[in-house]
Amino acid sequence: MKQQILQMLCESDDYLSGEELSRRLNVSRTAVWKHISALRQEGYRIDSVTNKGYRLLQKPDRLSAEWLQRGSRRFVGTAVEVADQVDSTNEALKRRAAAGEPAGLLITAEEQTGGKGRFGRKWASRRGDGVYFSFLLRPDLPPGSIASITLAAGFGVCCAVREYTGLDARIKWPNDVIIGRRKLCGILTEMTAQSDRLDYVVVGIGINVNQERFPEDVQQKATSLRLETGRRWDRNDFLLSVLQKLDEVMERYLISLSVDDMNAFKSLCATLGREVSVQRGKETLTGTAVDITPEGNVVVRCADGKEREINSGEVSVQGLY
Amino acid sequence: MKQQILQMLCESDDYLSGEELSRRLNVSRTAVWKHISALRQEGYRIDSVTNKGYRLLQKPDRLSAEWLQRGSRRFVGTAVEVADQVDSTNEALKRRAAAGEPAGLLITAEEQTGGKGRFGRKWASRRGDGVYFSFLLRPDLPPGSIASITLAAGFGVCCAVREYTGLDARIKWPNDVIIGRRKLCGILTEMTAQSDRLDYVVVGIGINVNQERFPEDVQQKATSLRLETGRRWDRNDFLLSVLQKLDEVMERYLISLSVDDMNAFKSLCATLGREVSVQRGKETLTGTAVDITPEGNVVVRCADGKEREINSGEVSVQGLY
């Protein structure tokens, strides 16, 4: 009910009378007033004028599970939980997954005290600055699919950022979204599997939204939507767009990835065509990234003319941070 | 010290004098006597005759961490823990792995109260009947490697059974060892991974050793070393041989699997050349298994003449249980 009132307020450009709300929802005007009060408690600024009714002036700069549950999705965030503070959204969701949580749950948090990226690297996750979230998949796929699930997630975020902000976001293989030379988004996919079958996959995504500055050590490497556009963004609205795009991409991906999907992915991949070096244990390979395979590997044409498929390891791309 | 005394007693066909033991180990005869007493406490039957010394008559029919730690191994069971009873050795080892246990630990138990196989199936694990164990790997490999780690484990067990017992053990792809039409050994590999890198792999193996009968529901499908040979087997000695073979195979596998290794594997694979049906979601494929790929997939030549690579799913082989 509260969700329906919120939705009507969002969709209306003008004041909505309490009478109309009560009629359309078939509840008393007192009930409408109670839900309006509850929304105000949550930080929504709602104007009320006698004889005109209610109007939404501003959404709170706090993540809202109700807002994020809008729309209908099949895979990503079919249920949404907003935490104030967690160690990391991946850790929180892995605990739930291990206890049998069904696929679809998304956990997001205002703040992560132990946000992390690949290789155990710290991911700066200050309160209110970015969006940090993880969602749970349980696809009936072999374990090797994790690489391409990560790619699909990066592709989804990249497309959502392009559509929502108009910025020229690109994918840095395997798991970053960048703008220019700088990192906007990181993805950490974690999973458990039994023999030849995935058990669960937790996809964790951090996107820099309203940061004006970063910790010293990543200042030169990171960017945010705000730094790129000079304005603040509504995190709820932005995150909702990202979730909708991710759901669309995951649905396509988990059913079957078409050649067109791969081509769309490659057209946004900043790694292709660039000089790369790959750290494999003690060995360092250098060459040009020439292709991405459907399994999510990068094909590197090495100095000796041979093409090698790289499926893991630390890839540095010349010309990107 | 106790371990050294045990080893000397094992290697000797005759009585070993307390004097000789104390001289070779450079300890007092009282110390030797204390260790002998401790071994007796553990169930070793050790005869002692005045003026002749000590002689090992019988090892206990209890798994012994000391026994299983004999020899030098690099990957499988570099540390061994014997539990009396666990829920399942995989669960016990996964808890340790999650807490940061380094690679190499092996956990075995006299009894599992919740032994399990693929698809959550129960694995009968009665006290003293079989060997049930799990070992921890942390290979620097991509997640898709789990399939071939399982194959390598099955190959190792199959070779060990052949060498130790002379029985014609074979591999049933992807994760069983069979004798004739019946299952001798099951393998359940579980893992966690982050993006493109395995975190840990727990390989759980159950081998039927001294069972004379099985629960009703698997009576027609299962066999044991005892049922095949008509005699009891020493579980410590048998398990030690299995561990040594597994270590040898894993060492080769984790470094690089040669064409010869694959050919050796295929020569023991009962699935090849047989009619198989594969359940893939709602679809059932039928055809002949014609090859195993280095990634661990089975290649099935279907009725329409096309060859398909199967990387997961439930495979039924005609003519095997």
Whole-angstrom distance, CA of residue B98 vs CA of residue B95: 5
What angle separates helix A29-41 from helix A2-11, to the nearest 10 degrees? 80
Cβ contact, residue pair A312, B150, below 8 Å: no
Cβ contact, residue pair B142, A192, below 8 Å: no
Q: What is the pLDDT at residue A79? A: 96
How close, in Å, is residue A235 to chain B by CA atoms?
26
Show residues of chain A in contact with B146, CB under 8 Å. 143, 193, 195-196
The domain boundary, picked from B29, B58, B87, lies at: B58
B256 touches chain A (CB under 8 A): no
On whether both B130 and B226 belong to a single domain, the answer is yes
Whole-angstrom distance, CA of residue A202 vs CA of residue A199: 10
How close, in Å, is residue B260 to chain A by CA atoms?
23
Show residues of chain A in contact with B196, CB under 8 Å. 146-147, 150, 174, 296, 311-313
Show residues of chain A in contact with B312, CB under 8 Å. 141-142, 196-197
Average pLDDT on A163-177 reads 91
Average pLDDT on B9-20 reads 88
Whether the predicted pLDDT of B195 surpasses 90: no
Cβ contact, residue pair A311, B197, below 8 Å: no
Show residues of chain B in contact with A296, CB under 8 Å. 196
DSSP 3-state helix, strand, coil percentages of chain A (rounded to 5)? 35, 30, 35
Q: What is the pLDDT at residue B255? A: 65
Whether the predicted pLDDT of B135 surpasses 90: yes
What strands lie across the sheet with A275-280, from one edge to the other?
A307-310, A298-302, A283-292, A275-280, A314-317
Interface pTM, i.e. ipTM: 0.71
Whether residue B254 contacts residue B247, with contact meaning beta carbons closer than 8 Å, is answered with: no
Tell me the three state secondary structure of residue B303. coil
On whether both A124 and A101 belong to a single domain, the answer is yes
Cβ contact, residue pair A174, B192, below 8 Å: no
On whether both A245 and A295 belong to a single domain, the answer is no
Cβ contact, residue pair B195, A146, below 8 Å: yes
Query: Tens of pLDDT along B214-237?
Result: 888 888 889 999 999 999 999 999
On whether both A152 and A28 belong to a single domain, the answer is no
Give B312's pLDDT tier (boundaries 50, 70, 90). low
How close, in Å, is residue B71 to chain A by CA atoms?
29
Whether residue A63 contacts residue A236, with contact meaning beta carbons closer than 8 Å, is answered with: yes
Q: Where are the alpha helices (DSSP H) in chain B?
A: 2-11, 18-25, 29-41, 65-68, 89-98, 146-165, 225-229, 235-255, 259-267
Helix (H) or strand (E) holding A253: helix A235-255
Measured CA distances, A3 to A25, A35, B154 (Å): 11, 9, 55
CA dihedral B16, B18, B22, B24 (to 10 degrees): -10
Whether the predicted pLDDT of B272 surpasses 60: yes
Cβ contact, residue pair A195, B193, below 8 Å: no
- The reply to whether the predicted model has a pTM over 0.80 is no
Measured CA distances, B239 to B57, B212, B319 (Å): 20, 19, 29
On whether both B286 and B248 belong to a single domain, the answer is no
Point out the residue among B141, B174, B196 whose CB comes nearest to the CB of A196.
Answer: B174
Assign residue B140 the CATH number of its domain: 3.30.930.10
A83 touches chain B (CB under 8 A): no
Average pLDDT on A90-109 reads 96
Query: Tens of pLDDT along B249-260?
Result: 998 877 666 677
Assign residue B308 the CATH number of its domain: 2.30.30.100
On whether both B170 and B240 belong to a single domain, the answer is yes
Q: How far apart are the first and last CA of chain B?
A: 48
How close, in Å, is residue B66 to chain A by CA atoms?
30
On whether both B128 and B235 belong to a single domain, the answer is yes
Q: How many residue pairs from chains A and B have C-beta atoms closer than 8 A?
A: 91
Least confident among A52-61, A96-105, A167-176, B251-260: B251-260
Long-range contacts made by residues A124-129, C-beta under 8 angstroms, separation at least 24? A124/A214, A124/A215, A124/A218, A124/A222, A125/A88, A125/A206, A126/A211, A127/A85, A128/A61, A128/A210, A128/A235, A129/A208, A129/A209, A129/A210, A129/A211, A129/A224
Q: What is the pLDDT at residue A264? A: 82
On whether both B219 and B249 belong to a single domain, the answer is yes
Whether residue A85 contacts residue A59, with contact meaning beta carbons closer than 8 Å, is answered with: no
Q: Which of A113, A64, A108 is nearest to A83 (CA)?
A: A108
Whole-angstrom distance, CA of residue B289 vs CA of residue A218: 53
Whole-angstrom distance, CA of residue A78 vs CA of residue B288: 42
Query: Tens of pLDDT along B35-86?
Result: 999 999 887 889 999 889 999 988 778 898 988 998 889 999 999 999 999 9
Token code pair at residue A181: 């030379």
Measured CA distances, B3 to B27, B73, B83, B118, B214 (Å): 14, 16, 19, 37, 35
A194 touches chain B (CB under 8 A): yes
B192 touches chain A (CB under 8 A): yes
Whole-angstrom distance, CA of residue A297 vs CA of residue A262: 12
Whole-angstrom distance, CA of residue A6 vs CA of residue A19: 15
Give B260 or A307, the one with higher predicted confidence: A307
Show residues of chain A in contact with B176, CB under 8 Å. none
Q: What is the pLDDT at residue B32? A: 92
On whether both A53 and A69 belong to a single domain, the answer is no
Average pLDDT on A164-188 reads 91
Query: Tens of pLDDT along A109-154?
Result: 999 988 877 666 777 777 778 999 999 999 888 887 888 888 889 9
Whether the predicted pLDDT of B15 surpasses 70: yes
On whether both B215 and B287 belong to a single domain, the answer is no
Q: What is the pLDDT at residue A255? A: 65
B150 touches chain A (CB under 8 A): yes
The domain boundary, picked from A25, A42, A58, lies at: A58
Q: What is the pLDDT at residue A11? A: 85
Burial class (CB in 10 A: 0-12, 13-18, 19+), B181: middle
Cβ contact, residue pair B195, A118, below 8 Å: yes
Whether residue B238 contacts residue B131, with contact meaning beta carbons closer than 8 Å, is answered with: yes
Cβ contact, residue pair A146, B190, below 8 Å: no
Measured CA distances, B81 to B4, B102, B135 (Å): 19, 14, 10
Assign residue A43 the CATH number of its domain: 1.10.10.10
Whether the predicted pLDDT of B209 surpasses 60: yes
The DSSP output letter for A102 is P
The domain boundary, picked from B58, B76, B94, lies at: B58
On whether both A151 and A231 belong to a single domain, the answer is yes
Residue of A nearest to B312 (CA): A196
Burial class (CB in 10 A: 0-12, 13-18, 19+), A227: middle
How close, in Å, is residue A120 to chain B by CA atoms?
10
Q: How far is CA A140 from the centre of its chain?
A: 22
Whole-angstrom distance, CA of residue B96 vs CA of residue B76: 16
Q: What is the pLDDT at residue B313? A: 57
On whether both B258 and B144 belong to a single domain, the answer is yes
How close, in Å, is residue A139 to chain B by CA atoms?
12
List the domain range (segments joined by +) for residue B258.
65-267
Residues of chain A above pLDDT 70, percent: 95
Cβ contact, residue pair B188, A175, below 8 Å: no
Q: What is the pLDDT at residue A313? A: 57
Give B198's pLDDT tier (boundaries 50, 70, 90). confident
A121 touches chain B (CB under 8 A): no
Whether the predicted pLDDT of B127 surpasses 60: yes
Burial class (CB in 10 A: 0-12, 13-18, 19+), B304: exposed
Whether the predicted pLDDT of B88 surpasses 90: yes
Number of separate domains in chain A: 3
Long-range contacts made by residues B303-310, C-beta under 8 angstroms, separation at least 24? B310/B278, B310/B280, B310/B285
Query: Tens of pLDDT along A257-278?
Result: 667 777 888 888 888 888 888 8
Tell me the average pLDDT of chain B: 88
The DSSP output letter for B101 is P
How close, in Å, is residue B278 to chain A by CA atoms?
14
Query: Tens of pLDDT along A7-40?
Result: 888 888 889 998 899 999 999 999 999 999 998 9
B311 touches chain A (CB under 8 A): yes
Average pLDDT on A151-159 reads 92
Whether the predicted pLDDT of A312 surpasses 60: no
Show residues of chain A in contact with B150, CB under 8 Å. 195-196
Give A320's pLDDT tier (boundaries 50, 70, 90). low
A16 touches chain B (CB under 8 A): no
Contact map slice: A 101-120 vs B, CB within 8 A: 118
Query: Tens of pLDDT along B155-165?
Result: 999 999 999 99
Q: What is the pLDDT at residue A295? A: 74
Residues of chain A above pLDDT 90, percent: 50
